[in-house]
């Protein structure tokens, strides 16, 4: 059975004290709202991870927002999978469109990062999504399929089962424009059918597929009501404890 997850992505926000304070609020609020089979995750900047992992307990898991693809070595300024694992991190976001765009991360690099994450017992939250141009010119199914095939479809079934997929249309990220529940469901069903074609029905049925892109307390329930949407990857709204908790509540409605 697939897990329902609401993951917050703080991106490059919050200094150390602000992060610890927001996280403590979130932990307190989430423990009253989260049902047993649901999971809350906070993906924070590197400087927060060690402290948050100690505060999170069983109610909120911790994720990073990036790792290097190599295990270790002369890569000044980089952080390895083993380093974040050693402080208690469980998840790592890979393939976010902001890194694909601003750091020019290719599908091939992301495939390597995914393998490194898995080799270090981290669960990737692997993001895919189309730009507005690709949505408008109708090439989006092809674009999404390519991101899946080159990014994660060469994984063994055992490894693939540890991956969470996040569909994040680039045109909906931080714009206030959300994919309609029908648009999002259409893509989630497409992603699940591609997984089924590659790994079979049971794997597809067990894979958690999150929606991300201007998801907020007002629109979360209608998105999460769609049969192939298993939760959300939340940017802006994860920076407010009340909003993030209300989005978790929407998993129950
Ligand atoms: O990783 C999160 C997504 O990029 C969504 O961000 P947003 O909720 O601010 O649109």
Q: Is the beta carbon of 125 within 6 A of some atom in ligand 1? A: no
Q: Is the beta carbon of 6 within 6 A of some atom in ligand 1? A: no
Just list the catalytic residues: 96, 168
3 state DSSP class of 71 = coil
Q: Which atom of ligand 1 is nearest to the CA of 236?
A: 9
How many Cα atoms sit within 13 Å of 50 on the Cβ side? 4
Q: Is 159 exposed, middle or buried (0-12, 13-18, 19+ CB in 10 A)?
A: middle
**How do residues 4-59 score in pLDDT, each as one tens digit?**
999 999 999 999 999 999 999 999 998 877 676 778 999 999 999 999 999 977 78
Query: How is 217-232 classified by DSSP, letter by letter?
Result: TTTHHHHHTSTT--EE
Contact 232, 6 (CB under 8 A): yes
**How do residues 151-191 score in pLDDT, each as one tens digit?**
999 999 999 999 999 999 999 998 888 899 999 999 999 99
Counted domains in the chain: 1
CATH code, domain with 69: 3.20.20.70
- Which mutation among 14, 124, 168 tests ligand 1's pocket best, with the greatest number of atoms within 8 A of CB? 168
Give the ranges where the chain is alpha helix by DSSP (H). Answer: 16-33, 46-56, 81-86, 97-102, 107-119, 132-136, 140-151, 157-160, 181-199, 201-206, 220-224, 241-250
Tokens found for residue 68? 């290097």
| Whole-model pTM over 0.80 | yes
Q: Which domain does 221 fall in, by range?
A: 4-250
At 4, which helix (H) or strand (E)?
A: strand 4-9
- Which mutation among 6, 7, 10, 11 tests ligand 1's pocket best, with the greatest number of atoms within 8 A of CB? 11
- The reply to whether ipTM tops 0.95 is yes
């Amino acid at each position: 059975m697939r897990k329902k997850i609401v993951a917050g992505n703080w991106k490059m926000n919050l200094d150390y004290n602000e992060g610890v304070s927001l996280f403590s609020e979130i932990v307190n609020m989430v423990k009253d709202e989260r049902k047993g089979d649901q999971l809350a995750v906070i993906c924070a900047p590197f400087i927060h991870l060690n402290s948050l992992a100690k505060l999170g307990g069983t109610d909120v898991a911790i994720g990073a927002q990036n790792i290097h693809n190599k295990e270790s070595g002369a890569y000044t300024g980089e952080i390895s999978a083993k380093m974040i694992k050693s402080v208690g991190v469980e998840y790592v976001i890979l393939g976010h469109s902001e890194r694909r765009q601003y750091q020019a991360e290719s599908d091939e690099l992301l495939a390597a990062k995914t393998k490194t994450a898995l080799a270090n017992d981290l669960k990737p939250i692997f993001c895919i999504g189309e730009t507005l141009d690709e949505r408008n010119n109708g090439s989006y199914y092809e674009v999404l399929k390519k991101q899946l095939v080159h990014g994660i479809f060469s994984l063994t079934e055992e490894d693939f089962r540890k991956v969470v997929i996040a569909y994040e249309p680039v045109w909906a990220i931080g714009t206030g424009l959300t994919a309609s529940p029908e648009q999002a469901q259409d893509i989630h069903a497409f992603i699940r059918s591609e997984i089924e074609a590659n790994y079979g029905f049971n794997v597809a049925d067990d894979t958690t597929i999150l929606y991300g892109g201007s998801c907020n307390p007002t629109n979360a329930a209608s998105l999460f009501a769609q049969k192939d949407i298993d939760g959300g990857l939340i940017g802006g709204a994860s920076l407010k404890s009340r909003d993030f908790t209300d989005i978790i509540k929407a998993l129950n409605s």
